[in-house]
Amino acid sequence: MGKGERTRAAILDRAIRLGSQLGLEGLSLGQLAEELDLSKSGLFAHFRSKEELQVRTLDRAAERFVEVVVRPALAAPRGEPRLRALFERWLAWPELVRQPGGCIFVAAAVELDDRPGPARDRLVELQRQWLATLATAVRGAQAEGHLRADVDAEQLAFEAYGIMLVSHHATRLLRDRKAVERARNALERLIASARR
């Protein structure tokens, strides 16, 4: 990475942290500049608009997600172990890449669902990619004979997504200390119901 790229990555990492708390609409170039001790005009050299900042923040978050969730999980053996590794790291994602306000994608989803534009489009693309990655892992587990061939891979990915959402909700809003345990139980039940 050149100096420009490093600066840009540092800005975006801070934007992920802030965005997890304030939402993507709450991100301001002014506040970012202040927190990073950069001039606002220096920041504008990297991102021409707030909209561009939002899209690049989502891209950077997705890049980090691949680094800390997807890639390490792909090191697990294909099939059920890999699917489990994906679930396990996904559960830990808001801590693996520090997001004090919880998963930035969840915050952005509720914020952007009614706001057409490039940030929404990108978020939808990223969420679909992730659901497709999960479905592929389910198919891998079917190919290995770990899960039944008649399981609907997209349905299983959809249900896993629901478990992550409620785990986030119960942790963040309800401060439910059993949330992660309940999420693990639910994922176990989901896998067990799909097993041969």
**CB nearer to a copy of itself: pick between 9 and 109:** 109
**Interatomic CA distance for residues 22 and 179, integer angstroms:** 23
Residues contacting 10, CB < 8 A, separation 6+: 36
Of the pair 7, 136, the CB lying nearest a copy of itself is at: 136
**Cα–Cα dist 34/18, whole Å:** 12
Q: Residues 122 to 141: which contact a copy of itself by CB under 8 A?
A: 123-124, 127-128
- Kindly identify the residues of this chain, within the stretch 28-67, that bind a copy of itself according to CB under 8 A: none
Chain centre distance of CA 157:
14
Identify the sign of the CA torsion 59, 64, 69, 70. positive
Residues 85-114 close enough to bind a copy of itself by CB under 8 A: 101-102, 106-107, 109-114
Residue whose pair of structure tokens reads 């679930």 in the numeric block: 87
> How many Å apart are CA 19 and CA 15, to the nearest integer?
6
Indicate whether 196 belongs to the interface with a copy of itself (CB under 8 A).
no
List residues binding a copy of itself (CB under 8 A): 21, 101-102, 106-107, 109-114, 120, 123-124, 127-128, 152, 154-155, 158-159, 161-167, 169-170, 172-174, 179, 182, 185-186, 189, 193
